[in-house]
Amino acid sequence: MRTEIALAGKSAPKLGGMESESDLQRRLAELQQRLRELEQQNSDLEIALETAIEHGDAIDREISATNRRLVGEIAERVRAEARLERLLEALRQQKADLEILVATVSEHSDGIDADWLRRYAEAETTALTDELTGLANRRGLNLALDRSWRRCLRTGSSLALLMIDIDYFKSYNDAHGHLAGDKCLGLLAQILKRACGRPDDLAARYGGEEFVLVLPETDLPGACRVAERIQKELTACALPHPGSGFGLLTISVGVSARVPSAEHDVAALLAEADRLLYVAKREGRNTLRSA
């Protein structure tokens, strides 16, 4: 009993054992403040817990979506690998077939090469040749003109052109028929071939009864001499042509020659020969004009 009294005496306030009102109010205020702090902490904990739960749900959804995506990608990859394997198998088969083909071609390459070259040469010749006369056609002429122009431009030599037209050819056809007209064209074509004395000379059928002779490295006097020889050889054939004022088949010729330059082109040279041909025809035919 005395012990309890002693202990109580140590903790009891002085002044008769009673606390003042101000002390009680102060302690009450402290307790209320502490209560508010605890309530705030409890609220914060509840918010944090709710946020964690919400984030956990979102994470779960993201993980589920990712898993589904990965499963789909894996399935697509498996399908792609299967397609690739089928493609590789097809390529391996094609490679084997190609090796067999190459081996077969190699065994017969000499014969195949020779036959291919022959066929190519025939096709190229056909594409550049006039079927009726055997001379170069317009395409062959254009290639020869371009080639000869560039060659003479490089060497600084003259390029000459002869534009040739059979006089009164329509009346010859009307009188003797188209077969005779074709023979007439063939005869002149043979004369023009013989006039091409060098490998680079070329005779071409320009169209209808018009022909062109391409003479690289030939000046105007030399080209005129070639034209005169052609006229004389045709006259010597003495092919009758009653519809002509001369009684025989004759030709008119326009001759042009020029040293190529960068300021001109071969089309201008051809146009000049054509102009001179029509001058010869206007001035009586069976003649040549040059410039």
pLDDT in tens, the chain (291 residues): 444 434 444 444 444 456 688 888 888 888 889 888 888 888 888 888 888 787 777 777 878 888 888 788 888 888 888 888 888 788 888 888 888 878 777 776 666 566 655 565 555 567 899 999 999 999 999 999 999 999 999 999 999 999 999 999 999 999 999 999 999 999 999 999 999 999 999 999 999 999 999 999 999 999 999 999 999 999 999 999 988 889 999 999 999 999 999 899 999 999 999 999 999 999 999 999 998
Query: What per-residue confidence (pLDDT) applies to 17?
Result: 54
The residues spanned by each domain of the chain are: 15-107, 133-290
* 133-290 CATH: 3.30.70.270
CB 196 within 8 A of CB 213: yes
CB 270 within 8 A of CB 215: no
CB 237 within 8 A of CB 187: yes
**Is 21 considered catalytic here?**
no
Distance CA 209, CA 130 (A): 12
Q: Which one from 209, 210, 217, 263 is the annotated catalytic residue?
A: 209
For the stretch 55-98, pLDDT in tens is 777 777 878 888 888 788 888 888 888 888 888 788 888 888 88
Distance CA 86, CA 235 (A): 78
Chain-centre distance for alpha carbon 145: 27
CA atoms within 13 A on the CB side of 152: 28
